[in-house]
């Protein structure tokens, strides 16, 4: 497995600066190499240089990820809210610790200036900070007497596996 070495975004990147690699998949808590034959080039829009290749994940790999996520959900949904909040706070601390490193990678992948990329990373940290307030976000509601002898109750509970493409 190769590695990517990034230089500051303010400098032109050359082939000597980057050892191109195939981006691994993260399934079942492990990084694995995709078995796909179809790879998507990740380019630095500022230079049009290919900096990595991302897998066009196979159907079997996608099914494996969904299956594992479904299995993990069974135990994760039982994790107390306070523990979930601590996970998000640890994640936030890691993002802060590696802020500039993440911004440098983001700058290379998007063509943004390093300063703009730092702002994007900080906005991400703020989202994680909000998620750290999961205890208050998961509070349900009780309303008495919405009609004669009728009370309503709502609970916020995890529903299952979902996916996002950004």
User: Does 9 have pLDDT greater than 50?
Assistant: no
Q: What pLDDT score does 14 carry?
A: 39
| Average pLDDT in the chain | 85
Dihedral sign for Cα atoms in the order 155, 157, 159, 164: positive
Element (H, E) at 76: helix 59-76
What pLDDT was estimated at residue 109? 92
The whole-number pLDDT of residue 59 equals 96
- Residue pointed to by tokens 């989202």: 127
Which pLDDT score, from 0 to 100, does residue 16 have?
38
Q: How confident is the model at residue 15 (pLDDT cuts 50, 70, 90)?
A: very low
Is residue 44 within 8 Å of residue 117, measured between CB atoms?
no
Is the per-residue pLDDT at 3 higher than 60?
Answer: no
Summarised one tens digit per residue, pLDDT across range 29-75 is 899 999 999 999 999 998 899 999 999 999 999 999 999 999 999 99
Query: pTM for this one?
Result: 0.72
Tens-place pLDDT, residues 138-162: 888 999 999 999 999 998 887 777 7
Burial 39-53 (b: 16+ CB within 10 A, else e): eeebebeeeebebbe
Residue 10 has a pLDDT of 38
């Amino acid at each position: 497995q190769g590695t990517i070495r990034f230089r500051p975004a303010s400098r032109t990147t050359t082939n000597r600066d980057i050892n191109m690699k195939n981006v691994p998949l993260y399934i079942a808590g492990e990084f694995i190499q995709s078995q796909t034959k179809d790879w998507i080039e990740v380019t630095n829009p500022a230079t049009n240089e290919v900096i990595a290749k991302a897998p066009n994940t196979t159907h079997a790999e996608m099914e494996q990820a969904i299956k594992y996520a479904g299995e993990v959900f069974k135990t994760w949904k039982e994790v107390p809210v306070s523990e979930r909040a601590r996970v998000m706070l640890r994640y936030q601390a890691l993002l802060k610790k590696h802020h500039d490193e993440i911004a440098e990678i983001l700058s290379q992948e998007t063509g943004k200036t390093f300063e703009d990329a730092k702002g994007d990373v900080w906005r991400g940290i703020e989202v994680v900070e909000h998620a750290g307030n999961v205890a208050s976000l998961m509070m349900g509601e009780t309303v008495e007497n919405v009609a004669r002898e009728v009370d309503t109750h709502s609970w916020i509970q995890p529903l299952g596996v979902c996916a996002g493409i950004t």
